[in-house]
Amino acid sequence: MSKQIKYSSTRGGETSLSYEDVLLSGLARDGGLFMPEEWPHFSFSELEDMKSLDYAELATKIMCPFIEPCLSEKEVFKICKDTYSGFNEGIAPLYNLKNNTYILELFHGPTFAFKDYAMQFLSRAFNQALHNRKKRGVILGATSGDTGSAALEAFKGQENIDIFILFPHLRVSEVQQKQMTYINERGAHALSVKTDFDGCQSIVKDCFEDLNFKDQTSLSAINSINWVRLLPQIVYYFYSALKLGAPEKEITFSVPTGNFGNILAGWMAKKIGLPISRLICGSNQNDILTRFFNNGIMERKSVIASFSPSMDIQVSSNFERLLYIINELDTAKVKKQMFDFKNEGKFEITKEQLLEINNLFAAYKITDEETLDIIKRVYEDYNYLLDPHSAIGYGALLKAIDNKQVEDNSIIVSLACAHPAKFPSVISKSINSSPDVPIPLKKIMSSEEYFEVINPNMSEIQSFIKSNMRSQ
């Protein structure tokens, strides 16, 4: 392998870009997503050596091959050390729910959601890259709930960066909205867009594909369409697996997912050497991914509001990266399928391709009613409280076990992606009492809100960005 990993677009329009290039670009100029042209691979003995590392050291070890020489190992370690210093109650702690089943708690960061693991790293990486290039940047992102609060919290107050986050009007939880809109700092903007998440995400993609606008504003992305957003998410798969017996033992992970970024990070962890036996994809009633893994057809339907709003998605943007792999790096085929999906709302893979990916992936839909029942049962049986998204991950795991898609005596990790206090109305509906609220959240809930309500019109949003960005 060459010393520096280069990156290319899933649609073939850009090749041989550096880590720093893809960080600052976000989305490729042809509308594709960046993927490595080579992959590092950690051997059994290297995995054994990783067991003794703390979280920041492990993150450095795993991410450095993707980043060097743009940043040195020492610089990456400093960013990692700073990134995770503000996490409460340990970093990625495991809770033994029963026998060989564990909950990986990813909600101990500043905004009580798993997005903090990547976003806190990303803000520091951006700042470093812009400083290196003596540039300013504009961040544009869409959120179904937790990405926006994690991004605004991480990027607020950065002198070199203006950030604009689009969230669907009246379609995020009250806590999620407050976590975005309490922020009142120069350069940080929350926009409530009169559409659903897919509408917000579509506007973001269209803004990136408007190359004049992208160049004028030095536009970049913090959604998981940005390759570097995914990198830190690989780490907690390694961290938890190594604590539970890897590399000697294979691990099963169950992941609630809407945009396919978090579970794709699990696939990436396996790709670079982590022994993962199964990745279980949990969907709510917006079950485009479950339907795809069952029949090989990716077909968009209308978004249905649910008790798990961060997963109310019918366009799983990150799936394009797996599609690129499924198609054996055939960028023309990816480009055609994504064109069909954008214009006709549908594309299909072959039966052979579906069989191959189903060797690793299993997918299940969990309804709102099932979500309430899972929260209640886990609370009554184990005195443990899951938020509605984490309940979907756990519910999908139970269905996979029932369908014999998880081996007997397998070590299982179910990802808990948000603090239950972020969804008090759903918790109360399930167990007839409200969750305890962490003190920082209590303060935020009593804060004044600062945000703009705006129409789902790209020109209107672009005008707002140009009017409110600080000078380059």
Torsion sign, CA atoms 270, 241, 120, 442:
positive
Question: What is the three-class DSSP state of 97?
Answer: strand
Catalytic positions are 115
Closest C-alpha to 216, from 207, 224, 203, 228 = 207
Torsion sign, CA atoms 447, 448, 453, 459:
negative
Closest C-alpha to 386, from 88, 14, 106 = 106
Question: What is the three-class DSSP state of 288?
Answer: helix
Per-position DSSP letters for 336-368, written without gaps between them: HHHHHHHHHSEEE--HHHHHHHTTTEEEEE--H
Cβ atoms within 10 A of the Cβ of 341, count? 18
Torsion sign, CA atoms 192, 198, 203, 207:
positive
Please answer whether residues 109 and 117 qualify as being in contact, where contact means their C-beta atoms are separated by less than 8 angstroms.
Answer: yes
Q: How far lies 291's CA from each of 306, 365, 379, in Å?
A: 18, 9, 29
For the chain, the straight-line distance linking the first and the last C-alpha, in angstroms and rounded, comes to 38
**How far is Cα 261 from Cα 259, in angstroms, rounded to an integer?**
6
User: Which residues neighbour 71 within 8 Å (Cβ) at sequence distance 6 or greater?
Assistant: 19, 79, 125, 128
Give the tokens for residue 470: 């600080």
Closest C-alpha to 254, from 225, 291, 279, 227 = 279
Directed axis angle between helix 424-431 and helix 368-382, to 10°? Answer: 70
**How far is Cα 297 from Cα 328, in angstroms, rounded to an integer?**
18
Please answer whether residues 161 and 187 qualify as being in contact, where contact means their C-beta atoms are separated by less than 8 angstroms.
Answer: yes
**How far is Cα 153 from Cα 119, in angstroms, rounded to an integer?**
9
Question: What is the three-class DSSP state of 211?
Answer: helix
Angle (CA) 466-207-233 rounded to 5° is 110
* Sheet containing strand 276-283, strands side by side: 94-98, 101-105, 411-416, 251-256, 276-283, 361-365
Q: Which residues pair with 55 in a beta bridge?
A: none
